[in-house]
C-alpha cells in the first residue's frame, strides 16, 4: 500500500509546487489541503501553462470534492482553452455546491458575452454584482456588454460607477474615452476628465485622455499641457510623447515635434509610425534628405505602411523627380486603393510628366472618392481646358458645383470656361452667382482670362458687388 503524505497551508507555495511535481514524477499520491492546491494552480496560471493547471484542478477536485473553488478554477481554465461546453458544466456543478460565489456568474457572463448572447451575459453579471464585495471589474464587464450592444450612453453610466468605486481602474478610464469618442461628445469627455483630475490629480491616464479629448476639439495648446502633466507623472509614457508630437505638428511646430517624437525612443522600441511621423516633420521643414531617410526607416520596419511609401514619393516630387515619385505613389496606392490623396498626387505627377490621359483618369478617381475636393475638380477641368475640350471642362465644372454649391472658386472658373466657349449669357449668370457667394475671389477670373479685365460689362458687374 502506497504511503500518503499530507501538505498543509503552512507550506511555502514554492514548496507545495515542488512536492506536487515530485508526486507526479513518483506516480505517488500525496494529500494537499485546499490552500496548497490553489497556490499550485495559480503558479501554473502565472507560468501561462493552462494544461498543467487543469491537471492540478482535477487532483484537487478528487481530494476536495465539496470545494466549489476548484470547479470555478477549472471553468476559468476551460474558458481560456476554448472548451466552453465543459466550462458551463463545471460552473453548474460549482453552483450546486456554493451558489453564492460571484465568480460563478462572472465567468458564466464572460462565456455568454463571448457568444454574443448579451441578455444572458447581463443577467449573470447582475447576479455577480449582487453577491460580490468588490464590484468595479463587474461594472466594467457590464459596460463592455452595453458597448457591444451599441448602447454607449448606458455603458458610460456603468463606467462612471466603476470609477466611483475604484479611481485607479485604468481600463475604465480608457473605455470611457472610447465611448465619448464614438458618440463624438468631446466636450462632455473634457468635463469628466477635468472633474476626475480634481479628485485624482496624479492620474497620468486621466491627463492623457484629457489631452486626447482636447486634440479632437483642435485645442492643441491645451492638449500639450495635458500631455505634459501625464509625462510629468509618468516620464516613461511613450504614447503621451507621441500624441504631444502630433499636437505640435498640428500647430506647425515641426522642429519641436521631431524632438518629442525622438523622446519616445528612450522608453520603447522605435516603430514605423514614429519614424513616419518624424519623416513628415522633416518634409514640412523642406529637409527632404532627412525626411526620405526616416520614411525609408519606416517602410523597412513595416512594408505595409502606405503613408511612408507615399512620403518617399512626396520628397522626390519636391525635387522634381516625378517619374521616381510616381513609382512610390503607386506603391502606397497598392496598399490603400481608395485613398483620394494618393490618387491626387499621382494625377499631379502624371500631369507634370505630360501624361495627360493618365492624369485625367487619376483626377476622375479623386473626385469620385472625394467629391468635396475643390482643387481636384479645378485641376481636372484644367487638363480638359488645356486640350481645348471646352464642353468636357464645362461638364466637369457643373458636376463640381453640384457637389460643392457653396464654393465660389468653381463658379468663377465656370465663368471663364463659358466665356471661352462664347456662352456669354450663361457666363454672366454664373458670374452673378460667384459674386453673391464671395465677391473677394473675383481675381480668380482674371488669373484665368486676363483679357476680361478690359471687358466693360464684366468690370461693371464686379464693381457693383465689390464696392
DSSP characters for 114-160? HTT-HHHHHHHHHHHHHH-S--HHHHHHHHHHHHHTT-HHHHHHHHH
pLDDT at 465 over 80: yes
Burial of 419 by CB count in 10 Å (0-12 exposed, 13-18 middle, 19+ buried)?
A: buried
| Count of domains forming the chain | 2
For residues 334 and 309, membership in a common domain is answered with yes
pLDDT at 35 over 80: no
For residues 328 and 389, membership in a common domain is answered with no
For residues 323 and 391, membership in a common domain is answered with no
pLDDT tens digits, residue range 224-233?
999 999 999 9
For residues 356 and 430, membership in a common domain is answered with no
Domain boundary among 370, 402, 421: 370
pLDDT at 64 over 90: no
For residues 287 and 358, membership in a common domain is answered with yes
Look at residue 345 and tell me if it is in a domain: yes
Q: Could you give the 3-state DSSP secondary structure of residue 6?
A: strand
List the domain range (segments joined by +) for residue 305: 269-370
pTM of the full structure: 0.75
For residues 363 and 379, membership in a common domain is answered with no
Look at residue 123 and tell me if it is in a domain: no
Look at residue 285 and tell me if it is in a domain: yes
What's residue 133's pLDDT? 76
Look at residue 338 and tell me if it is in a domain: yes
Q: In sequence order, what are the residues at sequence separation of 6 or more whose Cβ sits closer than 8 angstroms to the Cβ of residue 432?
A: 461
For residues 278 and 362, membership in a common domain is answered with yes
For residues 363 and 390, membership in a common domain is answered with no
What's residue 28's pLDDT? 63
What is the rounded CA–CA span in Å between residue 217 and residue 194?
Answer: 15
What's residue 285's pLDDT? 97
Look at residue 30 and tell me if it is in a domain: no
What's residue 334's pLDDT? 96
Domain boundary among 336, 351, 370: 370
pLDDT at 2 over 60: no
Q: What are phi and psi of 218, to 5 degrees?
A: 60, 25
Work out the average pLDDT over 443-448.
Answer: 84
106-120, 153-167, 430-444: least confident range: 106-120
More confidently predicted of 4 and 203: 203
pLDDT tens digits, residue range 355-391?
999 999 999 999 999 999 999 999 999 999 999 999 9
At 27, the pLDDT band (50, 70, 90 cuts) reads: low
Q: In sequence order, what are the residues at sequence separation of 6 or more whose Cβ sits closer than 8 angstroms to the Cβ of residue 336?
A: 306, 342
The answer to whether residues 237 and 267 touch, using CB atoms and an 8 Å cutoff, is yes
Look at residue 274 and tell me if it is in a domain: yes
For residues 394 and 431, membership in a common domain is answered with yes
For residues 303 and 353, membership in a common domain is answered with yes
For residues 353 and 381, membership in a common domain is answered with no
**CB contact burial 348-367 (16+ within 10 A = b; e otherwise):** bbbbeeebeebbbebbebbb
The answer to whether residues 173 and 209 touch, using CB atoms and an 8 Å cutoff, is yes
pLDDT tens digits, residue range 177-187?
899 888 888 89
Work out the average pLDDT over 297-306.
Answer: 97
What's residue 308's pLDDT? 97
- In angstroms, the Cα distances linking 373 to 270, 409, 431 are 35, 12, 21
What's residue 13's pLDDT? 67
What's residue 8's pLDDT? 46
The rounded mean pLDDT for the chain is 86
Q: Return the CATH number at 411.
A: 1.25.40.10
Closest by CA to 411, choosing from 425, 431, 396, is 431
Q: Could you give the 3-state DSSP secondary structure of residue 40?
A: helix
Domain boundary among 346, 370, 394: 370
For residues 274 and 364, membership in a common domain is answered with yes
Amino acid at each position: 500500500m502506497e504511503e500518503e503524505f499530507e501538505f498543509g497551508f503552512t507550506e511555502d507555495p514554492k514548496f507545495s509546487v515542488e512536492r506536487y511535481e515530485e508526486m507526479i514524477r513518483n506516480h505517488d499520491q500525496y494529500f494537499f489541503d485546499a490552500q496548497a492546491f490553489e497556490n499550485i494552480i495559480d503558479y501554473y496560471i502565472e507560468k501561462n501553462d493552462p494544461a498543467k493547471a487543469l491537471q492540478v484542478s482535477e487532483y484537487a477536485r478528487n481530494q476536495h470534492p465539496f470545494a466549489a473553488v476548484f470547479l470555478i478554477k477549472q471553468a476559468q481554465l476551460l474558458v481560456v482553452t476554448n472548451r466552453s461546453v465543459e466550462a458551463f458544466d463545471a460552473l453548474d456543478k460549482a453552483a450546486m455546491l456554493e451558489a453564492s460565489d460571484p465568480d460563478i456568474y462572472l465567468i458564466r457572463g464572460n462565456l455568454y458575452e463571448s457568444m454574443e448572447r448579451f441578455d444572458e451575459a447581463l443577467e449573470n453579471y447582475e447576479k455577480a454584482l449582487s453577491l460580490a464585495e468588490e464590484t468595479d471589474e463587474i461594472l466594467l464587464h457590464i459596460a463592455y456588454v452595453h458597448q457591444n450592444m451599441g448602447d454607449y450612453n448606458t455603458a458610460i453610466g456603468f463606467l462612471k460607477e466603476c470609477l466611483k468605486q475604484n479611481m485607479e481602474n485604468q481600463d475604465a478610464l480608457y473605455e470611457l474615452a472610447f465611448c465619448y469618442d464614438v458618440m463624438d461628445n468631446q466636450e462632455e469627455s473634457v468635463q469628466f476628465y477635468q472633474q476626475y483630475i480634481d479628485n485624482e490629480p496624479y492620474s497620468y491616464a486621466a491627463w492623457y485622455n484629457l489631452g486626447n479629448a482636447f486634440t479632437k476639439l483642435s485645442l492643441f495648446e491645451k492638449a500639450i499641457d495635458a500631455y505634459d502633466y501625464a509625462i510629468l507623472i509618468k516620464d516613461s509614457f511613450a504614447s503621451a510623447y507621441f500624441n504631444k508630437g502630433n499636437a505640435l505638428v498640428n500647430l506647425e511646430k515641426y522642429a519641436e515635434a521631431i524632438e518629442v517624437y525622438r523622446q519616445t525612443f528612450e522608453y520603447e522600441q522605435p516603430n514605423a509610425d514614429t519614424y513616419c511621423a518624424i519623416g513628415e516633420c522633416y518634409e514640412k521643414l523642406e529637409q527632404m534628405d532627412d525626411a526620405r531617410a526616416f520614411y525609408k526607416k519606416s517602410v523597412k520596419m513595416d512594408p505595409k505602411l502606405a503613408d511612408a511609401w507615399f512620403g518617399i514619393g512626396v520628397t522626390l516630387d519636391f525635387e522634381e523627380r516625378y517619374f521616381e515619385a510616381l513609382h512610390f505613389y503607386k506603391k502606397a496606392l497598392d496598399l490603400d486603393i481608395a485613398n483620394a490623396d494618393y490618387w491626387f498626387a499621382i494625377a499631379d505627377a502624371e500631369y507634370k510628366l505630360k501624361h495627360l490621359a493618365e492624369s485625367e483618369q487619376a483626377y476622375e478617381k479623386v473626385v469620385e472618392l472625394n467629391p468635396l475636393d475643390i482643387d481636384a475638380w479645378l485641376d481636372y477641368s484644367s487638363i480638359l481646358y488645356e486640350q481645348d475640350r471646352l464642353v468636357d471642362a464645362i461638364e466637369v465644372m457643373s458636376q463640381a458645383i453640384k457637389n460643392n454649391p457653396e464654393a465660389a472658386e468653381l463658379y468663377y472658373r465656370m465663368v471663364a470656361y463659358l466665356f471661352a466657349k462664347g456662352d456669354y449669357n450663361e457666363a454672366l449668370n454664373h458670374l452673378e452667382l460667384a459674386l453673391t457667394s464671395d465677391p473677394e475671389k473675383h481675381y480668380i477670373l482674371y488669373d484665368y482670362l486676363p483679357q476680361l479685365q478690359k471687358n466693360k460689362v464684366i468690370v461693371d458687374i464686379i464693381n457693383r458687388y465689390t464696392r
